[in-house]
Amino acid sequence: MAKIYLKKGREESVLRFHPWVFSGAVAQCTGDPAEGDLVDVYSSEGVYLGCGHYQIGSIAVRLLSFCADPKAPDFWELSLRRALDTRMALGLSLSGGSTDCFRLVHGEGDSLPGLIIDYYAGVCVIQAHSAGMFRAKKRICEALKTVLGDNLKAVYDKSAATAPFKAGLDLIDGYLWRADSFQESEIAVSENGVRFMVDWEGGQKTGFFLDQRENRKLVGSLSAGRRVLNLFCYTGGFSLYARAGGAASVTSVDSSARAMAMLARNEELNGFEAGENVCADAISYLSSVPDGAYDLIVVDPPAFAKHRGALKNALRAYQRLNAAAIAKVAPGGFVFTFSCSQVVDRESFALMVFSAAASTGRSVRIMERLFQAPDHPVNIYHPEGEYLKGLLLYVD
């Protein structure tokens, strides 16, 4: 099929789904389309924009579709290029820079339902949540090689643990591709200049929780001089930012010994002495904390509700946990509270925190509403894609 490349800056109307491409916007046409032929339209940077009917005249193309055709041989390359483009527009970086790790593909938010790809300084970790995506993984891997070029070090498939499908597929995690020189099973990444080790083989999910990047930054900016308690700390995301932000002390709690071991390595990686690191159940730890012992508490539990049926009990558990954190924080303290359960919507979450606050009898104000980081985009027609919600509370 003939290809039409637009002049620089002329893709904007197409990106806003306007179906006309004027001849004055066309920089180049490869192939020799006859009037009425289907042509593919690309931005000046080679990003696929859509497909439509070609005509000689002031309207050169009338677009019929703005989506790449999944049957086309270059579908994956085009889709991944488009996903990467939006991450680059956010100022994220493939190598170097202050942040070299990000979510490259966020399922529905990137018009690729069922596919997650996280990028860690050259290592792509894929999670397929549908049999279709799982079966496409080799093609996805090939397209990643083309789109990321020399930046790519490895592609790891980590679908098995979370796969909601069977389909007689061979569900074993493993490398789809590795550069000859790359044998590591973990890598150091930078997130806003803070360094973390990511272990995609043995860590939880794809190895790291990239969705909290912006919220970690906020914690860092409010930590100076505060005694910080980070509950459900995993490998210390919030803890390290609090340290870098000048916290008076940081206590980190997680029930996973493996996560706590990685936290210790992350402290070292950033040149910090070991903090107070506690491998324990976060809920019982919190109940043993004396009132007023902390000035900033982060509550970032795993999803208590994985499906609708579990919602009621989950909300009760969230409420008890939040009530305890609000009750314990020192006067003038901050509580960062989150839920990553997709079935808990923002309104139920806020109501739950409201009940928790009311049960403590303390004065509690909402200072900020918190979201997943912008490399986890939400398709406007699929609001369920906004799964991470949080509140920053100030407790007098």
Which residues are catalytically annotated?
340
Taking CB under 6 A as the criterion, the residue among 55, 111, 130, 255 binding ligand SAH is: 255
SS3 state at 309:
helix
Q: What is the DSSP letter of 329?
A: S
Q: Is 234 in the site for ligand SAH (CB under 6 A)?
A: yes
* Per CB under 6 A, 46 contacts ligand SAH: no
CA-based torsion, 24, 29, 32, 36: positive or negative: negative
Of 200 and 234, the one with the shorter C-beta distance to ligand SAH is 234
> For ligand SAH, which residue has the nearest CB?
237
What is the rounded distance in angstroms from the CA atom of residue 164 to the CA atom of residue 290? 42
* Options 134, 156, 200, 238; binder of ligand SAH; rule CB under 6 A: 238
Q: Out of 50, 203, 237, 333, point to the residue binding ligand SAH (CB under 6 A).
A: 237
Sheet holding 26-30, edge to edge: 20-22, 59-65, 48-54, 38-42, 2-6, 26-30
- Can you tell me which residue has the tokens 């990321």? 148
Q: Which stretch binds ligand SAH (CB under 6 A): 184-192, 266-274, 281-289, 371-379?
A: 281-289
Q: How far is the CB of 173 from ligand SAH (least distance, A)?
A: 19
Shortest distance, position 338 Cβ to ligand SAH, whole Å: 8
- The conformation of residue 11, written as its DSSP 8-state character, comes to T
Choose the binding region for ligand SAH from 56-64, 217-225, 242-250, 297-305 (rule: CB under 6 A): 297-305
76 binds ligand SAH (CB under 6 A): no
DSSP letter string, 73-136: TTHHHHHHHHHHHHHHHTT--SSSSS--EEEEEEGGGGT-TTEEEEEETTEEEEEE-SHHHHHT
202-220 as b/e: b if 16+ CB within 10 A: ebebbbbbbbbbebbbbbb
Residues 199-218 as x/- pattern, contact with ligand SAH by CB under 6 A: -----x----x--x------
For ligand SAH, the binding residue among 152, 300, 337, 392 (CB under 6 A) is 300
Instruction: Determine, following the binding rule CB under 6 A, whether residue 282 of this chain makes contact with ligand SAH.
Output: yes
Q: Is 381 exposed, middle or buried (0-12, 13-18, 19+ CB in 10 A)?
A: exposed
Query: Minimum distance between the CB of residue 277 and ligand SAH, rounded to whole angstroms?
Result: 12
Phi/psi of residue 12, each to 5°? Answer: -60, -45
Minimum CB separation from ligand SAH for residue 390, in Å? Answer: 11
**Interacting residue with ligand SAH among 163, 259, 289, 325 (CB under 6 A):** 259
In which region does residue 121 sit, left (phi positive, over 0), alpha (psi from -120 to 50) or beta (all else)? left
Contacts with ligand SAH by CB under 6 A: the residue count is 19
Check: CB of residue 282 under 8 Å from CB of residue 253: yes
Contact between 263 and ligand SAH per CB under 6 A: no
Shortest distance in whole angstroms from residue 161 CB to ligand SAH: 14
User: Residue 232 interacts with ligand SAH (CB under 6 A)?
Assistant: yes
Contact window for ligand SAH (CB under 6 A) among 46-54, 74-82, 163-171, 248-256: 248-256
Output 6 or 198, the one with its CB closest to ligand SAH. 198
B/e letters for 310-349, b = 16+ CB within 10 Å, e = fewer, are ebeebbebbbebbbbbbbbbbeebbbbbbbbbebbbeebb
Any bridge partners for residue 175, and if so which? Answer: 156
For the bound state, the minimum distance from the C-beta of residue 370 to ligand SAH, rounded and expressed in Å, comes to: 12
Instruction: Enumerate binding residues for ligand SAH (CB under 6 A).
Output: 204, 209, 212, 232-234, 237-238, 253-256, 259, 281-283, 300-302
